[in-house]
Amino acid sequence: MKQPDIKLIVTEHFASNPTPASYQELIAILRLPRKHKPFLKKALEELSAAGKLVYVKRRYSPPLPKKQHRTERVPPAPMLSSELIEGVFDATPLSRNFSYAFVRTEKGDFFVGSEDTLNAYHNDKVAIEPHFRNGKADYGRVRRIVTRANERMAGDLSFSSGKAIFICSNPKIHNWFEITDTNGAKEGEKVILQVSNWGSPLAGKMPGGKVVEVLGPSGDPQVELIAVIRQYDLPLSFCDEVMEEVNNLPDSIDAREVARREDLRDIFTFTIDPASAKDFDDAISIRKDSNGYTLWVHIADVAHYVKPETRTFDEAVKRGNSFYFPKKVIPMLPERLSNLICSLRPDEDKLCMTVITHFDPKGRTTAQKMVESVIRSNHRLSYEQVDELFETGKSDFSKDLKDALSWSRELSALLSAKRVAAGYIFFDLPEIEYEYDQEGFVRRLNLAEETESHKLIENFMLVANEYTAEKLSQLSPTSIYRVHENPDPRKLERLGESLSYYGLEYIISEDVNKSLQYLLNSMPNADYHKVFDRMVLRSLKKAKYTPEHLRHFGLGMENYTHFTSPIRRLCDLVVHLLCKTYVIKSSKLKLERKQIALYAEIASSQELLADEAERDIDRTYSLAFMKKHLNERFHGMVIGTNSSSLIVRLTEIPITAVLKTAMLPGGPWAYQDRAMRFVNTKTNYYYQLMDKLIVDIVDVSDDIYLELANIDSAHTHAQVLSPQPQTKIPKTSPGRSSGPRGRNRIDVMTPSPKSGRHSGKKRGSRR
């Protein structure tokens, strides 16, 4: 068989699609068989040497077009309609070489074809002309850019055909930018670009800007961290006015303030936090007698020091929450407040807001109240210390502390069972935990285990959060709620169809919580949970802050808010202010509904920003770590698919990588979307979810790319259940009814730190 002209194939591809592509991506796009891979490599090298392709950041593309001397006709601005609605532009699909994007609005998510995006970029606020179908959001056209998300961007400087170009570190910024002034920056350096023009796709005009700051060499951990901080425009310091205000706060508590509060300093109290934490914003006291249990949840009274008329409060509103990075925390409040004055450190008197709850011996609530208090913590414990006691029974703790932890363990188990009965949905999805060396490079990747001590603290914080939301719903005209709306029935229907191919049945009932609980409990083994818990989670909506009093679906609660972390979350600080006015009635402060709505909007948007920023730095560090393992062999399991790839979770290192179907032997491969399966159209051989693979890492660039190992045992089919028809959900669900065994990811649970991992950040900080 005659060898095809690979150079011609590549040239014709880029003539019709100039989007940059890596070697691995070209193999998949061009659907080249394994035997032609060496010829592709040679063709790309020859085309690059001849100047017909440029090679930048491990991607090939045509040379940049030369500037035209003629005046280009720019299409006139579209007429604006009074029916335009505003939303946030999501360029995730464009960044993955798809020809569309989305605009997220209050009326739903609108599909936008690439030809209708104007020059919008990821997270820009845009005005769209919306189109609906059956009253639901369908598609839209971007008619105006309302606000740019990033006037400055962090990224890498490279050269293409002698021209300086900028490649944003954020992969969702889907275009390259032409650099008009390098400011002395060199190839391979991380820089900050000030955008001067956003280009015009319709006129063929490339976006551009000038370098305003050189951060240092790409790949250096500290440089990469600063790049993310710059990219998201995060503040690295507090202004002089805020610092002066905080420095003027007294170190000691006024005796008159202590006298008017409930004095709880004689009650045995302790904190449980990550070993590296410095901001202790919650403490626990507990007693047990013949009537049951009494639980005190003490939360640092930040609102006593940070009031709406202060510059410190204004700064907290601006930041929205604390940001956690490797060996770096950008706090919502200055450290004198977060780590000293408000932190519930042992053997120091502290002001708190305390929720006191009485339970009967079966864990049922009999009475609750909230008070302003003064406490004195007796012990500062880490999760690891508590877990060691629970697992081994061995510890040098005092009898008082052992008794308190034993009672806490008993009550937590009762609360877990109670929450399961109410519809609390648990997911078995441990997150990746990073350990760093002294230079900031990733040293090891582990799966973060949620232990009994974490569940204990989570259960107790839920008690305080639920009570607070219930009282504010009764007493305050407006509040901030943490809500999680019911899932879209259409998504659940599609989920059920996909699950059926793997022997799982989603049984629709009036109680959706019970339906999902039963589904999760019916999964037979860990492999099923690794794949399908994630799929179930993706079918649900995201939790958010809002003044609308809606239920929290994932927690199975009618009333829920965030009250327990005022040091690092704006919502909690505002909720404390409302509690002082309407629950405790120690304050006359009134907040208008529009103010509260604004605070809720800021809290939600800044939480999303924190998630995205933290994911970016984790992704950067993970790629740097995996470059050390290039060409090494690993075992893995297929945990997901898309139209051109298998998504594989490695076994030896808990990280996800991509195996393009073009790299699979045989073919052609047809993608069955609902079954999430690739089938050989000639032989009916298939690859599907949960299949076990042996793979080689062949490229680490914008992602981690794999190739199936060239051995007989490289692919093993998963053992899939046969469908088991059900007509109704049993009254008692099997498996995990005794309590949680995984983290509840609906409300964005987060891992505890180890060796610098998000120092000071608690697991469950975004429940």
pLDDT of 581: 98
Partnered with residue 90 across adjacent β-strands are 102
The residue type at 307: K
Q: In the prediction, which pLDDT does 747 show?
A: 59
Cβ neighbours around 370 below 10 Å, total: 21
Question: What local confidence, expressed as pLDDT, does residue 742 receive?
Answer: 35
| Axis crossing angle, helix 23-30 with helix 37-49, rounded to the nearest 10 | 120
State what percent of residues in the chain have pLDDT above 70.
Answer: 90
Phi, psi of 445 (to 5 degrees): -115, 130
The region of weakest confidence among 323-332, 430-439, 680-689 is 430-439
| SS (HEC) of 507-566 | CCCCCHHHHHHHHHHCCCCHHHHHHHHHHHHHCCCCCEEECCCCCECCCCECCCCCCCCC
Judged by average pLDDT, the poorest of 19-28, 278-287, 453-462 is: 19-28
pLDDT of residue 740: 31
List the one residue out of 637, 635, 633, 655 whose CA is nearest residue 646. 637
Phi, psi of 512, deg, nearest 5: -65, -35
CB of 306 closer than 8 Å to CB of 588: no
The whole-number average pLDDT for the span 496-501 is 92
pLDDT digits over 541-596, tens only? 999 999 999 999 999 999 999 999 999 999 999 999 999 999 999 999 999 999 99
Q: What is the pLDDT of residues 398-409, one digit of tens each?
A: 999 999 999 999
Q: Over the stretch 130-175, which tens digit does the pLDDT of each residue have?
A: 999 888 889 999 999 999 998 999 999 988 778 899 999 888 898 8
Apex 79 CA angle, 77 and 80, nearest 5: 110
- Dig out the tokens for 721 from the structure: 């259940």
- pLDDT tens, position by position, 658-668: 999 988 988 78
DSSP per-residue string spanning 576-622:
HHHHHHHTS--------HHHHHHHHHHHHHHHHHHHHHHHHHHHHHH
pLDDT at 741: 31
H/E stretch holding 472 reads helix 452-475
pTM score of the predicted model: 0.82
SS (H, E, C) 228-275: HHHHCCCCCCCCHHHHHHHHCCCCCCCHHHHHHCEECCCCCCEEEECC
Q: How confident is the model at residue 497 (pLDDT cuts 50, 70, 90)?
A: very high
**Per-residue pLDDT averaged across 17-44, rounded?**
74
CA distance 85 to 51: 45
Q: Which amino acid is at 407?
A: W
Element (H, E) at 41: helix 37-49
pLDDT at 702: 79
Round to whole Å and give the CA distance between 687 and 671: 10
pLDDT band at 528 (very low <50, low <70, confident <90, very high): very high
246: CB partners within 8 A, 6+ apart: 238, 312, 333, 334, 336, 337
DSSP-derived secondary structure letter, 484: B
Confidence of residue 745 (pLDDT cuts 50, 70, 90): very low
pLDDT of residue 723: 52
Q: What is the mean pLDDT of residues 410-419?
A: 96
